[in-house]
Amino acid sequence: MGVKEKARIMDAEAIRRALSRIAHEIIERNRGIKDLLVVGIRRRGVPLAQRLCDRIAEIEGARPAMGILDITLYRDDLTTRSEQPVVHRTEIPVDVKGKKVVLVDDVLYTGRTIRAALDALMDLGRPELIQLAVLVDRGHRELPIRADFVGKNVPTSRKEMVELRLNEVDGTEDMVLIVEKD
């Protein structure tokens, strides 16, 4: 099955600006970085979370705590997928209790990944609040979930896929693409 690139909806510069804006919004909404914990969801949420932390550090002069969440064991589609996902480690270096957690992911779609992430996070303790930051919101929610911080809203059809390419992961220039299966 081949995929066809339909459109490039964000380039490196757009991504940089969006993350910068989100960093400002996070600081503003939480009145600084006290008790802030930025948690990237594997896999592309992790480099995005790192970049957000970098930007927040530039603005505030101090780095917020950061963690990595693997949601494989919380997925609701494990028994229906033919390909078994590899489990990776969850690495949250601080106690989540009482923290203001910002979950970071690349694309918000059905909301099922975020549901799994919320469950995974709750199993680690009781945060004060949880917010959600995504680079792209493409719609088609299947659960009552919305993002607090959005880089770009992109209307899509269900046949399309939204793909984020990041230098750290893919070795290419940063970009967000809409692709379609042939």
Partner 1 sequence: MRLKSKHVLGLREMEAEEINLVLDTADSMKEIIGREIKKVPTLRGRTLVTLFYEPSTRTRTSFELAGKYMSADTVNIATTTSAVVKGETLKDTARTLEMMGTDVLVMRHPISGSCHLLARTVSCSVINAGDGMHEHPSQGLLDLYTIRQKKGKIAGLRVAIVGDILHSRVARSNLWGLTKLGAEVVVTGPSTLLPPAAQELGVRATSRVEEALEGADVVNVLRLQLERQKGGLFPSIREYSRMFGVNRERLALAKPDVLLMHPGPMNRGVELSSEVADSVYSSINEQVTNGVAVRMALLYLLLGGGEAA
- Contacts with partner 1 by CB under 8 A lie at 70, 73-74, 78-91, 119-120, 123-125
State the minimum distance, in angstroms, from the CB of residue 115 to partner 1.
11
Task: Give the chain's end-to-end CA distance (angstroms, integer).
Answer: 7
Work out the number of other CB atoms within 10 angstroms of the CB of residue 99: 24
- C-beta of 46 vs 176, nearer to partner 1: 46
State the minimum distance, in angstroms, from the CB of residue 124 to partner 1.
6
- C-beta of 80 vs 171, nearer to partner 1: 80
State the minimum distance, in angstroms, from the CB of residue 72 to partner 1.
8
- C-beta of 54 vs 95, nearer to partner 1: 95
Strands (E), 27-159: 36-41, 65-69, 100-108, 129-137, 149-153
- C-beta of 16 vs 125, nearer to partner 1: 125
Q: Would you call the peptide bond into 126 cis, given omega within 30 degrees of 0 as the criterion?
A: no
What does the alpha-carbon distance between residue 150 and residue 19 come to, in Å, rounded to a whole number?
9
Q: Are 154 and 138 in contact (CB under 8 A)?
A: yes
State the minimum distance, in angstroms, from the CB of residue 83 to partner 1.
7
53, 69, 116 from 113: Cα distances, Å: 22, 11, 5
State the minimum distance, in angstroms, from the CB of residue 77 to partner 1.
8
- C-beta of 33 vs 120, nearer to partner 1: 120
